Structure 1
Amino acid sequence: MKNSIYILGIESSCDDTSASVICNKKVLSNVVANQEVHSKYGGVVPELASRAHQQNIVPVVQQALIEAKINKNQLNAIAFTKGPGLMGSLLVGTSFAKSLALGLNIPLIAVNHMQAHILAHFIKEENTNTPPFPFICLTISGGHTQIVRINDYFDMEILGETIDDAVGEAFDKSAKILGLPYPGGPLIDKYAQLGNQKAFSFSKPKVGDLDFSFSGLKTAILYFIQKKEKENPNFIKENLYDICASIQYTIVEILIDKLKNAVKKTGITHVAIAGGVSANSEIRKRLLYAQKHWGWTTYIPKFEYTTDNAAMIAISGYFKYINDLHADVSVTAQARLKVNE
C-alpha cells in the first residue's frame, strides 16, 4: 500500500523500554518492558535503568514488528525520544534508533517526550475524539506538572508550571511517608476509593494563578503523620484509606483549581490531560464532572497511552514525518528539555 506510512517509535526516557509501530495514525503494536529492579530501592536507579534498556531494546523492537505483522524494510522512519529524561536511558534509545535508521537508510525523527504525551491524543482509536486547536492540556507526571496551550502539533506554549516538585512526586513521596512501596501513586489512588476524602484537611499552597507548588504540601503531610503517630502509633494502619483519600482530594483540587483559572484566562474550553498521573481515577472523575457541569469538552487518554510508551513517540514521529521534520544523525539526547523546545 503506497499510502501507508509505517513509523517505528522507540521510548527509553526513564525505566520503561518501549517500541511501537503505527500505520498512519493507527497503532499496530505497543510493547512495553517494565523494569522490576527499581522497586526494592524505592525509586529509579539511573545506572540500573540504562543497563536494563540495553538488554530489553532489541527484543522489544523485534516484538513490536512481529505484533504489527510487518518487517523492518517496510518502515518509513524511526522516531525516538531525545529528551527529557535520564541521560543514560536516553542514550540507549538514541544510539539504537540512529543505527537502525542508518542501516535501513530511512529518516530519523527526534521526539520531545513531553510533546509526545500531549500528541497521544491524536492516536486514531475507536470511540475517542481528538481535541481541536487550540486546546489546553494539563501534563502531569513524575517529573512534570504544567498547563500548556496547544496551538498546533508542534506549537505549544507553557501557561503555568510547578515551581518545585511535580505532582507525581507528591503522590509517590506521600506514599513513602505512609510506608507504601514504590511507585506509591497508584496505591494512594486504589486506597482512596475506600476512604473519606474530607476526613483530614491539608492547606493548599499559595502561588501564582497558573503555577503549582507541591513541596510545602509534602512537608505538611509529613508533619501531620509524625504528630498523629506520636499520639497513636497505629494511626496510619487505622486510617490508611481516609489519609489516602484526603491526600488525593487535596492534590486533585489544586490541579482542577489551576485548570479553572486557565480556562477563565484563555477562554478555551477544550481541556485535555496527559502524562502518567492522568491515569489517576479522581482527576478523570473531576474532568468528566467539568464536562457535565461547566461546559468544558474534556479529552482523557486511554490508560495505555498515559504512562511512558512508544505509541506516543510514534504518533509524534508520524506528524513530524509528514511535515519533513527529520533529524540529522548528529542529533544528541537531552536530559533537560521544555515542552516548547
Structure 2
Amino acid sequence: MSLLHAAIASSETCFHPFPTHSLLQIRAKTILAIETSCDDTAVAVLDIDTSDDSTRSNVGPKTKLIFNEKITANNAAFRGIHPMVAHESHQVNLAKLVARAIDAGTRFQSRDEDFDAKKEQRFVPSYVAVTRGPGMRTSLTTGLDTAKGLAVAWNCPLIGVHHMQAHALTPRLCHALNSYENNSIKADHFEPAFPFLTLLVSGGHTILLRTESVADHIILASTSDIAIGDCIDKIGRIVVPQQHLANRMSVSFGPILEAFALPRNKNGVVEYDYIKGTEPTKWGFNIAKRKDYGWKLPMPLHSSEGGTKKDSMEFSFTGLVSYVTRIAQFGYLKDTQKLGKTPRDPPISDQEAQLLAQEAMRTAFIHLASRIVTALRTSPAKPPIRTLVLSGGVASNLFLRHLLRAYLDVSGFEHVKLEVPPVEYCTDNAAMIAWAAWEMICAGHVEKDMGKAFEMRVLRKWRYAGDWGEDGFDGEGGRGWCWGKWGYRC
C-alpha cells in the first residue's frame, strides 16, 4: 500500500481550528514536520501534551520528540551541493522517512513496545508542517508537495515554516525537551525569553537578528556577499592538504578545516593557544611564527579608503577568501611585503597551512563578533538583551563558540548568555520545523483558510522585513502565515 493510500485508509480525521491560545489551552497535539530546504531530507514528529496537567497553572506542556531522522544526499563527487542530486535524494528518501515517522507515531500512540503496526490504528498527526523557504526551489518543492498530499489525505491543517525562523527558535525547543525530561518547565515560559539576539550562520546565511517574539525578527546585520559557511568551505578546500581529505565523503569542509587547524591533543582536548589582549582585533595565533612567513590577514571591513565601513552593520567574507587563496597559492614575499604573482614552488608547507587555517577562522569569527558587540551596545536598554543564540550549521564549530564567549567577556558583556543548541539541532533538522509551527500556532500566526494554505508555493528567497502587501510575501499567493509591517512579522 502506498504512503498516500495508507494515510487515506485511516478512519480517524483530525481537522483542528487554528486557535490563538496560551500553551495550556491547547490540549495534546502532534505535528509531523518535513524539512527539505537543501540536501538534507528530514522528518520529525513532535508531541505536545498538556492534558495531564491542564488544571495546574504552574506546569507547562509535556514536549516529546517521537521521531527525528534525516538522510543527507551524497554530493561527494561534486565537492559541493548539486541541486539535482539533492532533489533526487529527497525523492528517494522522503517517503521512507515519513513511513518510519508514521510507525513511530503509531508506536507512541499505542504506548506498547510490542505493537503490531499492521493491526493498530495508524497514527494521524494534528498538523503537518513543512519548510516553505528559503532554500533550493527543487528541494523545497519535493517537501511541500509531499506535505500537501499528507494534509489533504489526513484532513489536517498545513503550516508553512520559515527555515531561518525555525533555527532562531531552536533553543526554545531544546529547553522544552530538557524541561520535560527534568519535569521543571513553567507554564507558558520557554528559554531564552524574548527579546534575544540570534546569529544564524550556515552555508547560505549569515544574519544577526533581534528576536522580539515568535514572529518578530528584525535584521540587524547580514552579509553583503557570501555566507560565513561558504567562506569556511572555500578556505578549507584551498588550505587543507590533500592527504587530510582522503576518504572524506562530506562536502562540508568546515569541520575538516577546524579539525586540521585545531587538532585535539592526546587527552582529546583542543587547546586554543592564541594571544589575547584588551583589543580583540589584535588577537592572533603564534604571532612569532606568523612573522616568519610575513603575511597578516586583514580584518574584513576594518579599514578601507575613507574608512566608511569599519563600524557598518554588515558582514563581508569574499575579501578574506581571496586573500587566503592568494597566500596559499602564491605565497608572501617578505622582501617586497607583497603577495607573490607566481605559483609556490614548493607548495605551502603543512605547518604554514595550519597557521593560515587558524588565522582565517579567527579573522572571520572576530568579524562576526564585532558586529554582535556593536548591536549590543546600540540595543535599547529596556527590555535588555540577556541571551545571544548561535544557530545554523556553522554553530557546530567549537572555536567559534569559544571565541564569541571570550569576545563578549572582554567587551563588557559577561552577563550575556551564549545559547547554542546541541550539534544535531544546529544543522538542518525537522524537529525545529515542528517546533516553529507549534509556536506559531500558539501565537495565532497561521493561515485559517485551508484553501489558501493548499495554494502555498515554495519561496526560494523569503524576506525577513517589509510591508508584504495583500498577495502574500512576494506576490505569489498562497501564504503560510499572516504578516505585518515591521520586522519579519509572520
When normalised by structure 2's length, the TM-score is: 0.65
2:418 equivalent among 298, 302, 310: 298
Distance 1:233 1:130, change over 3 A: farther
Which position in structure 2 is the counterpart of 1:115? 165
Equivalent residue letter for 2:329: Q
Which of the pair has the greater relative contact order for Cα pairs under 8 Å at 6+ separation? 1
Shift of 1:172: 0.5
Shift of 1:236: 4.2
C-alpha separation between the residues in 2 aligned to 1:292 and 1:204? 20
Which position in structure 1 is the counterpart of 2:88? 51
Partner of 1:6: helix, strand, or coil?
strand
Alignment of 1:82-121 (within 5 A): 82-121=132-171
In structure 2, runs of 5+ residues without a counterpart are: 1-25, 49-62, 110-121, 183-189, 246-250, 264-271, 275-284, 291-295, 302-308, 332-341, 465-487
Partner of 1:126: helix, strand, or coil?
helix
C-alpha separation between the residues in 1 aligned to 2:104 and 2:345? 54
1:278 equivalent among 378, 395, 405: 395
Q: Contact 1:196–1:245 (CA<8 Å) still a contact in 2?
A: no
Q: Contact 1:14–1:49 (CA<8 Å) still a contact in 2?
A: yes
- Asked whether 1:307 is paired with 2:411, we answer no
1:187 equivalent among 239, 244, 256: 256
Which position in structure 1 is the counterpart of 2:231? 170
C-alpha separation between the residues in 2 aligned to 1:287 and 1:230? 36
C-alpha separation between the residues in 2 aligned to 1:55 and 1:105? 25
- Asked whether 1:60 is paired with 2:121, we answer no
Partner of 1:82: helix, strand, or coil?
strand
Comparing 277-286 with 173-182, greater Cα deviation is found at: 173-182
Partner of 1:125: helix, strand, or coil?
helix
C-alpha separation between the residues in 2 aligned to 1:170 and 1:187? 13
Distance 1:11 1:163, change over 3 A: same
C-alpha separation between the residues in 1 aligned to 2:196 and 2:104? 33
Which position in structure 2 is the counterpart of 1:336? 461
1:316-338 CA-partner distances (Å, limit 9, x unpaired): 11112334413610000011113
Which position in structure 2 is the counterpart of 1:209? 312
Shift of 1:287: 3.7
Shift of 1:221: 0.7
Shift of 1:89: 0.4
C-alpha separation between the residues in 2 aligned to 1:331 and 1:165? 29
Q: Contact 1:147–1:158 (CA<8 Å) still a contact in 2?
A: yes
Alignment of 1:1-12 (within 5 A): 3-12=27-36
Equivalent residue letter for 2:32: L
Shift of 1:196: 6.0
Which position in structure 2 is the counterpart of 1:33? 71
1:84-110 CA-partner distances (Å, limit 9, x unpaired): 111000000000000000000000000
1:151-198 CA-partner distances (Å, limit 9, x unpaired): 000111001110011000000011121256531111111122238662
Alignment of 1:199-278 (within 5 A): 199=286, 200=290, 201-206=296-301, 207=309, 208-228=311-331, 230-266=343-379, 267=381, 268-278=385-395
In structure 1, runs of 5+ residues without a counterpart are: none
1:270-313 CA-partner distances (Å, limit 9, x unpaired): 21111111111112113444676622122111111111110110
- Asked whether 1:318 is paired with 2:435, we answer no
**How many aligned residue pairs are there?**
339
Comparing 317-326 with 39-48, greater Cα deviation is found at: 317-326
C-alpha separation between the residues in 2 aligned to 1:99 and 1:158? 34
Equivalent residue letter for 1:190: A
Q: Contact 2:206–2:222 (CA<8 Å) still a contact in 1?
A: yes
Distance 1:54 1:150, change over 3 A: same
Which position in structure 2 is the counterpart of 1:20? 44
Q: Contact 1:7–1:79 (CA<8 Å) still a contact in 2?
A: yes
* Bigger radius of gyration: 2
C-alpha separation between the residues in 2 aligned to 1:64 and 1:218? 42
Comparing 192-201 with 252-261, greater Cα deviation is found at: 192-201
1:51-71 CA-partner distances (Å, limit 9, x unpaired): 110111011112233345346
1:3-31 CA-partner distances (Å, limit 9, x unpaired): 22100110000000000111124322210
Shift of 1:232: 4.6
Question: Larger % of helix: which?
Answer: 1
C-alpha separation between the residues in 2 aligned to 1:190 and 1:4? 44
